[in-house]
Amino acid sequence: MDFQDAFPTDEACYVYLCLVKWPNGFICPNCQYNKCYVMKDHTRRCAQCRKSFSVTAGTIFQDLHIPLRIIFQAMWYVVCQKQGVSASGLQKILGVGSYHTTWKWLHKLRRAMVRPGRDSLSGEVEVDEIIIGGVHAGKRGRGAEGKELVLAAVEDKGGSMGRLRLKQISDASGSKIEKALLEMVVPGSKIRTDGWRGYFGLEEKGYNHEVLVHSEQSPGEDPTPLIDKVATLLKRWLLGTHQGRQEPSYLQYYLDEFTFRFNRRNSRSRGMLFLRLVQQALQVDPITV
């Protein structure tokens, strides 16, 4: 499907938002009447009580200073490009004058990529830290300079990967690891890690903890092979699409975008992914980036 065909005008984008918000047709939030007029400013005016409603109010689309169609086109690229798009790349594609505008919108969209109230991981879960940035391998216990630490958890579905969660952490101490894991993985799940001492308190937090260590007999065997694959893909994406220029204070949002795409990697329908992103964008409160 071509963007131009799907959304030829600004109003077509508003119609799409209305369909997501009112799947069974317009229902007046004031009097529950089911007919409305479409006004020039894209608001909907109830045909009975005459109140006007903006479909973008209270969402990240509220108070737009550029046409909604530009934002839809940005979302289209974010969803349809396998590797996503950088702010400068998107600026060229959209012909938007300001780099800051595209940068800001990409960040707003990343906030919409985490579904409010999403489920935590469960079952068998492999966990390890990933070090982002820097040339040399960093110290593990404390964040080394110029490096960022990410705690990664991925479901092990019989050797293949299920859902992924990524959380930026300031250091790999037990308390930071446990706090992050409680947000990502349901207690009672089986967690597999290497022998780092930061994981020693997991049983106390209600997890079934399995420790795999590099064995002397088979030194080539990796305790966390799934996370290693994730780390390779994540670093390649940050270096490729974003040239490794992501700001540390915004790293979590890049991680959220990576996770959104990763967890939907087997989805055949890009149109469905686009719908998911719009649905979540309507659920997320207005954000100042």
Interface ranges with Zn ion (CB under 5 A): 28, 30-31, 33, 46, 48-49
Q: What tokens were used for 137?
A: 């391998």
Compute the least distance from the CB of residue 49 to Zn ion, in Å: 3
Backbone angles phi, psi at 193, to 5 degrees: -140, 175
Residues counted in the chain: 289
DSSP secondary structure letter of residue 144: P
Measured from the CB atom, is 26 or 61 closer to Zn ion?
Answer: 26
Measured from the CB atom, is 30 or 267 closer to Zn ion?
Answer: 30
Measured from the CB atom, is 28 or 79 closer to Zn ion?
Answer: 28
Order the strands of the 190-193 sheet from edge to edge.
160-169, 148-157, 124-132, 190-193, 208-211
- Pairing mode of beta strands 124-132, 190-193: parallel
Does an H or E element contain 52, and which? strand 52-53
Compute the least distance from the CB of residue 39 to Zn ion, in Å: 14
Compute the least distance from the CB of residue 53 to Zn ion, in Å: 9
Compute the least distance from the CB of residue 10 to Zn ion, in Å: 24
Compute the least distance from the CB of residue 263 to Zn ion, in Å: 39
CB contact at 8 A, 207 and 178 = no
How many CA atoms are closer than 13 Å to the CA of 254, on its beta-carbon side?
Answer: 27
> Distance of CA 52 to CAs 16, 18, 131, Å?
18, 14, 51
Measured from the CB atom, is 31 or 272 closer to Zn ion?
Answer: 31
Measured from the CB atom, is 20 or 49 closer to Zn ion?
Answer: 49
Question: What are the residues facing 150 on neighbouring strands?
Answer: 130, 168
Tell me the three state secondary structure of residue 142. strand
Q: What tokens were used for 153?
A: 């958890």
Measured from the CB atom, is 51 or 205 closer to Zn ion?
Answer: 51
Measured from the CB atom, is 46 or 231 closer to Zn ion?
Answer: 46
What is the dihedral sign for C-alpha 39, 42, 47, 53? negative
Compute the least distance from the CB of residue 283 to Zn ion, in Å: 23
Compute the least distance from the CB of residue 50 to Zn ion, in Å: 7
CB contact at 8 A, 260 and 166 = no
CB contact at 8 A, 36 and 46 = yes
CA separation for the pair 168, 148 (Å, rounded): 7
Compute the least distance from the CB of residue 34 to Zn ion, in Å: 9
Measured from the CB atom, is 20 or 31 closer to Zn ion?
Answer: 31
